Structure 1
Amino acid sequence: MESRINFCVAVAVFIIVTEIASCHFVFEVQHKFAGKGKNLAHFKSHDTRRHSRMLASVDLPLGGDSRVDSVGLYFTKIKLGTPPKEYHVQVDTGSDILWINCSPCPKCPSKTNLGFSLSLYDVNASSTSKKVGCDDDFCSFISNSDSCQPDLGCSYHIVYADQSTSEGNFIRDNLSLDQVTGNLLTGPLGQEVVFGCGSDQSGQLGKSESAVDGVMGFGQANTSVLSQLAAAGDAKRVFSHCLDNVKGGGIFAIGVVDSPADKTTPMVPNQMHYNVMLMEMDVDGASLDLPPSIVRKGGTIIDSGTTLAYLPQALYDSLIETITSRQPVKLHIVEETFQCFTFTKDVNQAFPPVNFHFEDSLKLTVYPHDYLFSLESEMYCFGWQVGGMTTEDRSEVILLGDMVLSNKLVVYDLENEVIGWTDHNCSSSIKVKDGSGGVYSVGADNLSSAPPLLLIGKLLAILSTFVAVAFT
């Protein structure tokens, strides 16, 4: 039996555009908290639950609600089978498979508070479904052939950090996507993919009030939907997102972005997360001391599924002290976690920017309007949090969520093993390039055409989520 640890990611409301060879795909995204009042308890509680799933192999001494029932900020609507049937799934850029709750499944959730009806995939209801056998190339690639039982077929077993599980068999069927055929124009296109047909759930996965129909993995392994599309020559292993923290929308794209151009930094190799090398950190030029393990081992994770930003205790203390030395305020604790203060002036004029400097001179600047949340009139709180996270060898970890990634186009280029970003107006548009050289503009207004693949979210939570996956 082979096991892996993977992690999930969630982001802010956005639209997803997928490039497929000479094609692109459009996804509409829905934010779980859209239209609701801003409450920091929601952000931290969501992040805490996400930690419990994403960081299973990491020591996370976090208190509070460590349940695995978080939906994350976003979920998406996809279509599977022939005829196509809609399913609402979490979009998980860290895990490696797509799995859907399948019929029969006595322990699968039967209802959700997210405003839609849950659906079970029925193998017998799709004329194009095929069982993935032990001799299938997909199964032989991911599992030990000796452990695969021919009468059951190729199967999977996922164990989350709180010991909740999902298990079932792999199925091959059509995934319906919206192909971008021109500027703001789309047309239907189906792609065959292998996904897990979940027949048994345990723990919180079967009890969540914010349940969805499954999880769509966009991780780095060859079993993810992204990698399957790339292996078929239908897409490049590149995806991007641009999160608008003002209007709550943005863009998520699979494929090559033509513009705006971005500068990149190498991914740390052989990591299960999107790790990068943080070299320096400063508050408007005033340097902060980084833990040695952060610099030596690349212990900085880029995770748009995380709402806030989590730092080791000493670095957090130094950061808050340096910021407040530039702009003195009287801090008080809100909800036992957040450092807040009363302020009547323009925070962007009064507070300093925070700069992260990565390998190859890539800089990420976090402005006051990014790291400060306004709970009510003249009351602000810091989005910086103490993470308390360490790796298995006790090295400290920095986790940078969409608080610092907002208003930037962030590109994950798995083919060249780099991550890059550039400041961008995420409520505007980007240009994507297809395999034939065509370049098309895609923006938030592109969603009015009711695309079949509504990439609504990054699920499994707002912070990072580690998942152990065993294929048998």
Structure 2
Amino acid sequence: MEFFFCFLLLSAHLLLASSLVQFQDNGLTPKQVSIHLEVHHGQSQLNHSTTSSLEFFSPKILEKDEQRVEAIRSRFSNKNLSNIKPELVSTPLKSGLSIGSGNYYVKLGVGTPPQYSSLIVDTGSSLSWLQCQPCKGSCHPQVDPLFNPSRSKTFKKFPCSSPSCSSLKESTLNDPGCEVGSGACVYREAYGDSSFSIGYLSQDVLSLTPSETLPGFVYGCGQNNQGLFGKSSGILGLGHDKLSALAQLSTKYGYAFSYCLPTSFSASKPSKGGYLSIGSSSLAKSPFKFTPMVKNPKIPSLYSIDLTAITVAGRPLGIAASSYKVPTIVDSGTVITRLPMPVYTALKEAFVKIMSKKYKPTEGISILDTCFEGRAKEIVNVPEIGMIFQGGAALPLNGHNTLIELDEKTTCLAIAGSSGTNPIAIIGNYQQQTFNVAFDISNSKIGFAPAGCE
């Protein structure tokens, strides 16, 4: 049976890559143990010697980033995008774009014996899935072999009558389907840039290391998949939902995780390799400053916080405090940070006032309209932008977090305005790079610490 499901919903692609998996024990009790995975930029899938920053941060990537933001905004405005029915197709759809991604990926094993796959880690979605043979609809190109369920001794499909199948509506915002004849539960997951996956809700053994496994891991066995997944095999969902990988792992390691995203190869200041740590003990490794998580009933699975102020070169923007009072999320899948238009306008004016004394402003590209002539490596003494959150937590952003090189002549501020009738703020992954970011779900707080990748 072939499925095609095209719709727009919330997502964020946090492409997480791993060449090494380590288990940290240190003699701790189970919930004090953490799993530590190396993280690399998704662009590492491509040949850096032939890929320029212009090809990477192209208008196409920025346009897809904007589509994702529009989908998130629609969720906050209560626009109903669920319950769209799947359509049958007679020919396979086009595969996902084979270009790199602006995000990160990690490699994990599924099945008995384990088959290892490079999975996108997504803080903006809950259900995990990977491409599975026989790909009844379409599978995009991936660097790893397709997962073969018939080779796993522990693979099972969920029936439509199962409680896990009933939980899909809460996790994906779409009603589950039921395959005629087999009675197998069918999931439908879609993302803000028109990417999607459809397949069977399944369970199997998840291997974090050869010795550390999670039996009965609930995930989607994707039969029809299309979109901006780079060359990954699928998604590892870390959203705040009971079907997420984080929730399933929390019974053993604790309900928390942290990461550090290394800079992309095009950044002016390359960083060391990043990491993803799952477990409560991962929060003890850095001097975090925390801000409370905000409960948003419209999208409870997202990680929301309160942005209270922004400074440029140490000076506040001088705008009303009410300008910051919009839904704000920390989203490692959105590349470019978005700010409500009054805040962005004030930030742009303050930033240009300082930068234009040494660098000539130039025409913007796509969603980025605060641009200057020159290469990123040639632009020095960039004024620090401080993002301050409730409780005193902050992100002090310097050049490698603020400037993005779009071609050999143009470097832009990697922040854009969020317009429309329902403005939102999103702290994107470009601003999070090189910081240690902690998600303490048990205590409802998010923390930031500098030099996280070192």
Give TM-score, length-normalised by structure 2: 0.75
Following superposition, the deviation at residue 265 of structure 1 comes to 0.5
Gaps of 5+ in 1: 61-66, 179-186, 429-472
Alpha-carbon spacing, 1:93–1:16, altered in 2? closer, same or farther (3 Å): farther
Q: Secondary structure of the equivalent of 2:338? A: strand
In 2, Cα distance between equivalents of 1:345 and 1:416: 41
Q: Secondary structure of the equivalent of 1:56? A: helix
Following superposition, the deviation at residue 42 of structure 1 comes to 2.3
Following superposition, the deviation at residue 52 of structure 1 comes to 2.6
User: How does 1:43-82 map onto structure 2 within 5 Å?
Assistant: 43=57, 45-53=60-68, 55-58=70-73, 69=97, 71-82=101-112
Contact 1:106-1:200 within 8 A present in 2 as well: yes
In 1, Cα distance between equivalents of 2:328 and 2:414: 15
Q: Secondary structure of the equivalent of 2:302? A: coil
Following superposition, the deviation at residue 227 of structure 1 comes to 0.4
In 2, Cα distance between equivalents of 1:166 and 1:57: 18
1:368 aligned partner, one-letter code? G
Q: Which residue of 2 aligns with 1:173?
A: 204
Contact 1:81-1:175 within 8 A present in 2 as well: yes
| Structure 1 residue 332 corresponds to structure 2 residue 378 | no
Following superposition, the deviation at residue 277 of structure 1 comes to 0.7
1:189 aligned partner, one-letter code? E
Contact 1:175-1:191 within 8 A present in 2 as well: yes
Q: Which residue of 2 aligns with 1:341?
A: 373
Following superposition, the deviation at residue 223 of structure 1 comes to 0.4
Alpha-carbon spacing, 1:288–1:334, altered in 2? closer, same or farther (3 Å): closer
Alpha-carbon spacing, 1:24–1:358, altered in 2? closer, same or farther (3 Å): closer
1:8 aligned partner, one-letter code? A
Alpha-carbon spacing, 1:267–1:9, altered in 2? closer, same or farther (3 Å): farther
Q: Which residue of 2 aligns with 1:265?
A: 291
Contact 1:92-1:219 within 8 A present in 2 as well: yes
Higher strand share: 1
Percent of aligned positions with the same letter in both sequences? 26
Q: Which residue of 2 aligns with 1:7?
A: 11
Following superposition, the deviation at residue 259 of structure 1 comes to 2.0
Alpha-carbon spacing, 1:400–1:347, altered in 2? closer, same or farther (3 Å): same
Alpha-carbon spacing, 1:356–1:173, altered in 2? closer, same or farther (3 Å): same
Q: Which residue of 2 aligns with 1:63?
A: none
Cα deviation, 1:155-203, whole Å, max 9, x if unaligned, reads: 311233465542222111101112xxxxxxxx522212011122234xx
Q: Which residue of 2 aligns with 1:407?
A: 434
| Structure 1 residue 287 corresponds to structure 2 residue 316 | yes
1:214 to 221, 225, 234: 234
Q: Secondary structure of the equivalent of 2:252? A: coil
In 2, Cα distance between equivalents of 1:251 and 1:80: 20
Q: Secondary structure of the equivalent of 2:124? A: coil
In 1, Cα distance between equivalents of 2:74 and 2:160: 36
Following superposition, the deviation at residue 238 of structure 1 comes to 0.9
| Structure 1 residue 235 corresponds to structure 2 residue 253 | yes
Contact 1:308-1:383 within 8 A present in 2 as well: no
2:111 aligned partner, one-letter code? G
Q: Which residue of 2 aligns with 1:27?
A: 37
Alpha-carbon spacing, 1:50–1:18, altered in 2? closer, same or farther (3 Å): farther
In 2, Cα distance between equivalents of 1:149 and 1:77: 30
Q: Secondary structure of the equivalent of 1:323? A: helix
Contact 1:17-1:252 within 8 A present in 2 as well: no
Alpha-carbon spacing, 1:386–1:71, altered in 2? closer, same or farther (3 Å): closer
Contact 1:332-1:341 within 8 A present in 2 as well: yes
2:305 to 260, 276, 280: 276
| Structure 1 residue 88 corresponds to structure 2 residue 98 | no
Contact 2:96-2:140 within 8 A present in 1 as well: no
In 2, Cα distance between equivalents of 1:395 and 1:59: 8
Cα deviation, 1:281-318, whole Å, max 9, x if unaligned, reads: 12123322557665334x22222223332334443332
Cα deviation, 1:300-348, whole Å, max 9, x if unaligned, reads: 2222223332334443332232123234132112645451134999855
Cα deviation, 1:43-98, whole Å, max 9, x if unaligned, reads: 353343244346425259xxxxxx97574432332211112112232221211111
Q: Which residue of 2 aligns with 1:318?
A: 346
Cα deviation, 1:141-162, whole Å, max 9, x if unaligned, reads: 4459x97759423331123346
Alpha-carbon spacing, 1:290–1:403, altered in 2? closer, same or farther (3 Å): farther
In 1, Cα distance between equivalents of 2:248 and 2:140: 30
Following superposition, the deviation at residue 27 of structure 1 comes to 2.6
Q: Secondary structure of the equivalent of 1:33? A: helix
2:12 aligned partner, one-letter code? C
Alpha-carbon spacing, 1:152–1:143, altered in 2? closer, same or farther (3 Å): farther
In 1, Cα distance between equivalents of 2:166 and 2:342: 47
Q: How many residues align?
A: 394
Following superposition, the deviation at residue 25 of structure 1 comes to 2.6
In 1, Cα distance between equivalents of 2:413 and 2:231: 27
Alpha-carbon spacing, 1:162–1:141, altered in 2? closer, same or farther (3 Å): closer
2:155 to 129, 133, 140: 129
Alpha-carbon spacing, 1:358–1:98, altered in 2? closer, same or farther (3 Å): same
Q: Which residue of 2 aligns with 1:189?
A: 212
Following superposition, the deviation at residue 419 of structure 1 comes to 0.7
1:385 aligned partner, one-letter code? I
Q: Which residue of 2 aligns with 1:154?
A: 185
Q: Which residue of 2 aligns with 1:419?
A: 446
In 2, Cα distance between equivalents of 1:75 and 1:343: 28
Contact 1:11-1:402 within 8 A present in 2 as well: no
Alpha-carbon spacing, 1:47–1:83, altered in 2? closer, same or farther (3 Å): same
Contact 1:43-1:308 within 8 A present in 2 as well: no
Following superposition, the deviation at residue 222 of structure 1 comes to 0.7
1:359 to 357, 373, 390: 390
In 2, Cα distance between equivalents of 1:413 and 1:278: 18
In 2, Cα distance between equivalents of 1:143 and 1:88: 26
Q: Secondary structure of the equivalent of 2:253? A: coil
Alpha-carbon spacing, 1:409–1:345, altered in 2? closer, same or farther (3 Å): closer
Following superposition, the deviation at residue 119 of structure 1 comes to 0.6
Cα deviation, 1:84-125, whole Å, max 9, x if unaligned, reads: 11223222121111112223223222634xxx2441432x32
Q: CA RMSD in A?
A: 3.6
Cα deviation, 1:217-261, whole Å, max 9, x if unaligned, reads: 11111100110122xx21222111123322362122111222212
1:324 aligned partner, one-letter code? V
Q: Secondary structure of the equivalent of 1:226? A: helix
